[in-house]
Amino acid sequence: MTQELKQQFTERIIELQQRVEAIHQDFAQGRDADWSEQAGERENDEVLNALESEAKVEIQQLSLALNKIKQGNYGICEGCGEAIAPERLNVQPAAIKCVQCAE
């Protein structure tokens, strides 16, 4: 089970890193000289920045989960020390707290 999780998390991290790289490449392409085009590009930049931020947060969370698997304490709540419900981990695999402590 943990080997499957490690593989899933690693694959997702690679996917997210590729997304971040694609965003960086888009920014590196420069902008159009036309003012109306630049306005649309600025809106696109805001969306890309938000997507990049979300990807980086998820990479960080998955990296933390991988470390927890390595240390043997994956699925243990950092708040109370009890096991995190499998249902919660299915929804949020990088969860570090049980539902009660997260509230």
Q: Kindly report the backbone phi and psi dihedral angles of residue 76, in degrees, each rounded to the nearest multiple of 5, phi listed first.
A: -105, 130
CA atoms within 13 A on the CB side of 29: 11
Q: Tell me the pLDDT tens digit for each residue of 40-81.
A: 666 677 888 899 999 999 999 999 999 999 999 999 999 999
Domain definitions of the chain by residue range = 2-72, 74-103
Q: Kindly report the backbone phi and psi dihedral angles of residue 94, in degrees, each rounded to the nearest multiple of 5, phi listed first.
A: -95, 15
Q: Tell me the pLDDT tens digit for each residue of 87-100.
A: 999 888 889 999 99
Quote the pLDDT of residue 23. 84
